[in-house]
């Protein structure tokens, strides 16, 4: 099976420079499975490209629109956390979003190159003392919208957030 790597100008970043987003793609048949990847620099400017990529691929594969919305929100949230908290907006570091789809589920991993973190140390945003805080809801959102969420912490090597949404 061949893997295609495309470099294409995507848009201009906040400094006005043209940037590229790298994507990889494998087999596009949902019956056999679909695998794809998008790699972005650690800048929030690239989140619309991530969302566009995920939504376009899942729509093309016929994923139900409600499930697609849950997945898209979750991927955007995980990618935002990877850029801001994992890679600390360091443009030298990348965020990789991997998409795997088959007839039973969609599996997404979001990988950063940060120092890792302890998900258990994140405070519960539904507790009264945290209700009015403007941050700290990302993990809660992921766990609310996806069927399964796992964190693979690699100290000094980054974090992988693995999310699964079952299609049936």
DSSP 3-state percent helix, strand, coil across the chain (nearest 5)? 30, 35, 35
CB 114 within 8 A of CB 86: yes
Q: What is the reported pLDDT for 15? A: 54
Domain annotation covers residue 135:
yes
Number of domains into which the chain is organized: 1
Domain annotation covers residue 8:
no
Q: What is the reported pLDDT for 31? A: 47
Rg (CA), the chain: 16
Domain annotation covers residue 9:
no
Domain annotation covers residue 62:
yes
Domain annotation covers residue 71:
yes
- Residue range(s) defining the domain that contains residue 122: 21-166
Note the pTM of the prediction, 2 decimals.
0.79
Domain annotation covers residue 30:
yes
Tens of pLDDT along the chain (168 residues) come to 333 333 333 444 555 554 556 555 554 444 447 899 999 999 999 999 999 999 999 999 999 999 999 999 999 999 999 999 999 999 999 999 999 999 899 999 999 999 988 888 888 878 888 788 877 788 999 999 999 999 999 888 999 999 999 998
> CATH number of the domain that 70 lies in?
3.30.565.10
Query: In Å, what is the CA distance from 130 to each residue of 14, 25, 81, 84, 122?
Result: 32, 41, 18, 20, 11
Domain annotation covers residue 16:
no
Q: What is the reported pLDDT for 150? A: 97
Domain annotation covers residue 138:
yes
Q: What is the reported pLDDT for 122? A: 82
């Amino acid at each position: 099976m061949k893997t295609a790597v495309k470099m294409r100008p995507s848009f201009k970043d906040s400094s006005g420079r043209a940037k590229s987003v790298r994507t990889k793609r494998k087999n596009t048949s949902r019956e056999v499975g679909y695998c794809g990847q998008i790699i972005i620099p650690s800048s929030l400017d690239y989140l619309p490209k991530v969302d566009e990529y995920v939504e376009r691929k899942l729509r093309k594969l016929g994923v139900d629109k409600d499930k697609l919305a849950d997945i898209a929100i979750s991927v955007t949230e995980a990618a935002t956390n990877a850029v801001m908290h994992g890679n600390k907006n360091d443009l030298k570091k990348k965020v990789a979003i991997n998409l795997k789809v088959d007839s039973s589920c969609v599996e997404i991993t979001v990988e950063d190159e940060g120092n890792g973190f302890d998900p258990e140390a994140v405070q519960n945003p539904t507790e009264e003392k945290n209700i009015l805080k403007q941050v700290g809801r990302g993990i809660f959102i992921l766990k609310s919208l996806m069927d399964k969420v796992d964190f693979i912490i690699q100290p000094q090597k980054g974090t992988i957030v693995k999310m699964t949404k079952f299609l049936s």
